Structure 1
Amino acid sequence: LLALVANTTGMTTLSYMGCFFIWAICGFITGWLKYGGLTSFQHFTLRLLLWMDRLSPWNYARFLDYATERIFLYKVGGGYTFIHRLPMDYFASLEADNFSKETGLFARWRLRYYLLPSFLLLVGLLLSILKLIPFAFEDSYLRNLHSNMNKGRYPKVIVYSEKLLKLNNKNARALIYRGIAQKELGNYQQAISDFDYAILLSRIPRELELYAVANRGLSHLWLRNYKQALQDFENALKKSKKNSIFQAEQLTNRAFLYNELGNYEQALSDSNKAIEIIQIRESLLSAYALLNRGRANAGLGNEKDALSDYNKIIELSNNIKTSQNTSISELRAFTFNYRAYTHARLGNYEEAIEDCKKSISLGNKFNSAKKPQIALAYKSCGFVFALKKDYYEAIKNYDKAIILDPKLGEAFEYRGLAHSKLGNPKLALQDLRRAIQLYKEQGKNSDKQRVINTINNLQ
């Protein structure tokens, strides 16, 4: 029965053996009380009283020899009795006297009076067990939660998080882990709700609070809520320890955000600070810091420096050890995408197209939540074909990018330019106006102004 319970509930061997041990103790106490427990207690009390008054040794095997050497007498009326028998005679006479007076209903009520303490003790034990069993489950759920999180099994992370939250709906760790799983599955609003609730808890540890704030910032980032994302990253940075890995992570996150907003100088500064803290080593964090620096250099026109960083990432990614292979694939897909864009600007069109194909191939292995990232690869492919003046092929790639990510403003902007080159001003204006709307919603003011200037030139 215990094995069946363990298999169906996810309990570990240690957990259900602990429950078995508790039930065994409960059964032992119940049996002891039912079969002579009260008599045994009285006997023990008698021995203890005699021993404390130094009237009898604790070891009964020596009692007769001891009594032979020293006979303790007590005068009762005109005769004498052994003093060590007085407590026993007292208990016996008391019981005989009381029970001789009790008949019928009164005797039954007295019996219940004696059984009441035992009953209350059993109730207390059962209540304690009912409280202890959930803790055994909680320990099992936490272990499964950590294991599945490390392996990137996010649906199972959500399952075990919800089991923990049924035991305690204010479990900050369960809320944060479920939020991270929702974020990785592309459910960014649900993730933000979990992080918000976890942060509001009054007794959340400081480390967990910072972890929740940082991940909420990432959720806002993927929703292109750049203002809220920036606030979270900066709050996490203010409270982080100087030169810590956590600080480097937040600098890397903020650098990514600055690149999205076109603030390349600030992105470069944050990337360099992060690299200075973590050094160049075979880790995902180091690789993403290099990726951000490469993007910033490309944005500032330093294409050769950008290519150097991208090449270094590809080299490092072959040796990065992680339990989540999808993380490596995602990193490489990002890198090939941005390297393709840089190759195109340098006129290396064949290398650019090859990198685009690699990025798309890796992206197709992602789950549906990663569609916006695959869209970036199609946008880069469209950019390469546009530079080659193959506008029809460019538009095909922009179409695919927009289907995957309808909020990708750059895809609308570049497709509008391609339509303009093909002599379709109506379609061009339609796409460019949509790009302006998206840039405005996302707070990309410099990009918005650029498209406005483009429209003015076209008209």
Structure 2
Amino acid sequence: MGSKEAIRQGHHRLQRIHPPRPQEPWTYHHRGYAWSEKKDYDKAIADYNETIRLDPKEASAYRYRGLAWSEKKDYDKAIADYITSIQLDPTEALAYQARGYAWSDKGEYDKAIADFNEAIRLDPTEALSYHARGYAWSEKEDHDNAIADYNEAIRLDPREVTAYFHRGYSWSEKEDYDKAIKDFNKVIQLDPKDAWAYHHRGYAWSELKDKDKAIADYNEAIRLDPQEASTYFSRAGVWSEKKVYDKAIADYNEVIRLDPQDAWAYFKRAYAWSQKADHDKAIADYNEAIRLDPQIAWAFFNRGYAWSQKSDVDKAIADYNEAIHLDPKLATAYFNRGIAWNEKEDYDKAIADFDEGIRLDPNEAVAYLNRGYALGQKNDNDKAITDFNEAIRLAPNNASAYLNRGYAWSLKKDHDAAIADYNEAIRLNPQEASAHLRRGIAWTSKLDYDKAITDFNEAIRLEPNNALNYNHRGYAWSLQKDYEKALADYDEAIRLDANVAFPYAYRAWLWATCPENELRDGKKAVESATRACELNDWKYAPDLEILAAAYAESGDFDKAVEWQEKACNLITDEDAKKAAEERLKLYQERKPYRDE
């Protein structure tokens, strides 16, 4: 039975143990007691009123009328009657005990404890007083004092089932689940139909990570009381932990059927839908949870995550904003909003969010990883590496941290450090295609094309539909002067993704400048280079240079000069500009360029 129900049972125990005497003016008193036993408290109160009218000094009549008021949950009237009863008979322990119950029902546990103290002083053999005081201590979250009182209650009355139940609850609150289970076992032994005992034992098993025993207990609790929504809710939580989301959803459905106003049931069901990657249903449930309780910060946070999974970054940010508004200390909301800003390429806002999230939770490795990424996108590679270092310190088995730090080293032209990090990323996650790709790029930068091609081969094996893998292998083949293989890889890259400029440009370069005469084709080179320029909005100098080389190969040197001049105007690096001007001079002399 639940805690409040146990307290109400205590009221009935008071009546059963001390029935009134059936004599005049006790006839009304006796009939009032009978009405109370039939739960007709209005008639009981009417008879106690008559008893008091006939004998206004009879303390027990006030006490029993107080019990009836308590059953009607009119605790103020109950307490008023108990006060009168105590004034008339200050030595009656049961009056203090009854008033203690009323204070407890009103949530005034200090006053309840004071009354139970007095009841125990007057009658130290009454188990119920210890039990009720223990309950008051537990409501104050003082479970040590609660357990001490339950121990005494059980010593005085070893068959008092609710004392074992409440002690088991206190052991659970102290996270001593083995002792909790022993107490719930005793409850079940004494009362095998107590659904709440199975429910709470199930909770203890779940905290001990014995999910199967937890579910078995929840099953029995539901069999005994199929209308108790909270048991379905708890069982659903275990199904979710076991990743059996269909059963979890079925249980949350039942919770919602029994209690359609339970916002947390929608919240939890939404999470289960999200784990099944059904983000539309997840969002619908988060919507309902928020409608029922718009103060649940986590509902906005989780809905934001669902929006992000649907690539609706703006809606995700709006929800993260509200989650932060409701709970400004919710670090993970800053982290996720920062990731969303990264996706929108607003790196300053991303960094600001990661800064705040890290201030709130400085031990979250993923925050440093994502801030490092944002810093890298702003070309602040030193700070990025510092963040990746911290991410690795906090989570040394996170392959992504090594992968990103390796890329930062590559941007700093420290290819040995980059390769060392890529090695570690691959050791931790050998199925990560991008790690093989990036290591291959680093080997290319070190002019070790055989190792580069080996890595690109592995990247292609792992991700055969990623055009980027073919782009880079094609480039490595061209540097090895295996031009036919290079062209084949560029063709495959374009087949896989026709909207990326890189393979068009490099294919055009080979067709325009290849040392092998039979592979050059000026017309094809112009077509391919033009497409590269279109994809980059005619703003990328290397594309314009390749187009110029293509026109030169096709014999249209006027166009070659025109586009080479435009490329020179865009180039800012002195060495690159010098090389471009040398090619311009070549075209002005009406000579094509050859990439020897």
Q: Report the TM-score when normalising by structure 2.
A: 0.42
Q: Distance in 2 between matches of 1:355 and 1:447?
A: 35
2:522 is the counterpart of 1:434? no
In structure 1, the gaps of 5 or more residues are: 1-13, 26-36, 61-128, 319-328, 365-370, 440-445
Residue 428 of structure 1: CA displacement?
0.5
SS of the residue 1:155 aligns to: coil
Residue type of the alignment partner of 2:301? Y
2:317 is the counterpart of 1:233? yes
2:284 is the counterpart of 1:196? yes
Q: Which residue of 2 aligns with 1:168?
A: 256
Residue type of the alignment partner of 1:245? K
Q: Pairwise mapping of residues 248-263 of structure 1 onto structure 2 (< 5 A)?
A: 249-260=332-343, 263=345
- Contact 2:301–2:319, Cα closer than 8 Å, also in 1: no
- Alpha-carbon spacing, 1:235–1:410, altered in 2? closer, same or farther (3 Å): farther
Of 320, 344, 350, the residue aligned with 1:270 is 350
- Contact 2:441–2:472, Cα closer than 8 Å, also in 1: yes
Residue type of the alignment partner of 2:359? Q
Of 187, 210, 216, the residue aligned with 2:306 is 216
Q: Which residue of 1 aligns with 2:388?
A: 310
Deviations 1:192-217 (A, max 9, x none): 43123322553243324412322213
- Contact 2:233–2:265, Cα closer than 8 Å, also in 1: no
Q: Distance in 2 between matches of 1:359 and 1:288?
A: 15
Q: Which residue of 2 aligns with 1:54?
A: 54
Sequence identity of aligned pairs in percent? 14
Q: Distance in 2 between matches of 1:162 and 1:433?
A: 45
Residue type of the alignment partner of 1:307? I
Residue 278 of structure 1: CA displacement?
3.6
Structure 1 stretch 210-219 or stretch 229-238: which is displaced more?
A: 229-238
- Alpha-carbon spacing, 1:268–1:40, altered in 2? closer, same or farther (3 Å): closer
Q: Pairwise mapping of residues 72-83 of structure 1 onto structure 2 (< 5 A)?
A: none
Q: Which residue of 2 aligns with 1:359?
A: 425
Q: Which residue of 2 aligns with 1:393?
A: 454
- Contact 2:372–2:384, Cα closer than 8 Å, also in 1: yes
SS of the residue 1:292 aligns to: helix
Residue 314 of structure 1: CA displacement?
1.6
Of 391, 396, 415, the residue aligned with 1:349 is 415
Residue 156 of structure 1: CA displacement?
4.7
Q: Distance in 2 between matches of 1:249 and 1:55?
A: 67
- Alpha-carbon spacing, 1:131–1:345, altered in 2? closer, same or farther (3 Å): same
Q: Distance in 1 between matches of 2:390 and 2:403?
A: 15
Q: Pairwise mapping of residues 281-296 of structure 1 onto structure 2 (< 5 A)?
A: 282-284=362-364, 287-296=365-374
2:234 is the counterpart of 1:140? yes
Q: C-alpha root-mean-square deviation of aligned residues, in Å? A: 5.1
- Alpha-carbon spacing, 1:131–1:384, altered in 2? closer, same or farther (3 Å): same
Deviations 1:357-414 (A, max 9, x none): 32233336xxxxxx7xx343333233333333424223213214425xx5x5644554
- Alpha-carbon spacing, 1:448–1:430, altered in 2? closer, same or farther (3 Å): farther
Residue type of the alignment partner of 1:338? N
Which segments of structure 1 move beyond 6 Å, counting only runs of 4 or more? 14-19, 42-47, 55-60, 129-132, 451-456
Residue 233 of structure 1: CA displacement?
1.6
Residue type of the alignment partner of 2:391? I
Residue 271 of structure 1: CA displacement?
1.3
Residue 137 of structure 1: CA displacement?
1.0
Deviations 1:296-319 (A, max 9, x none): 33233332222222112222336x
Residue 337 of structure 1: CA displacement?
0.9
What is the number of equivalent residue pairs in this alignment?
317
Q: Which residue of 2 aligns with 1:88?
A: none
- Alpha-carbon spacing, 1:271–1:192, altered in 2? closer, same or farther (3 Å): farther
Residue type of the alignment partner of 2:279? A
Q: Distance in 2 between matches of 1:55 and 1:229?
A: 76
Residue 55 of structure 1: CA displacement?
9.0
Residue 353 of structure 1: CA displacement?
2.9
Deviations 1:123-177 (A, max 9, x none): xxxxxx99884234145337647xx6xxxx4605664344122321665534544
SS of the residue 1:240 aligns to: helix
Q: Distance in 1 between matches of 2:245 and 2:338?
A: 29
Residue 275 of structure 1: CA displacement?
0.9
Residue 260 of structure 1: CA displacement?
4.8
Deviations 1:262-321 (A, max 9, x none): x3xx2244213431454286422xx33322232233233332222222112222336xxx
Q: Distance in 1 between matches of 2:337 and 2:36?
A: 74
Residue type of the alignment partner of 1:429? D
Q: Report the TM-score when normalising by structure 1.
A: 0.53
Deviations 1:15-38 (A, max 9, x none): 79989x99xx9xxxxxxxxxxx9x
2:444 is the counterpart of 1:383? no
Residue type of the alignment partner of 1:342? A
- Alpha-carbon spacing, 1:163–1:341, altered in 2? closer, same or farther (3 Å): same
Q: Which residue of 1 aligns with 2:294?
A: 205
Residue type of the alignment partner of 1:256? I
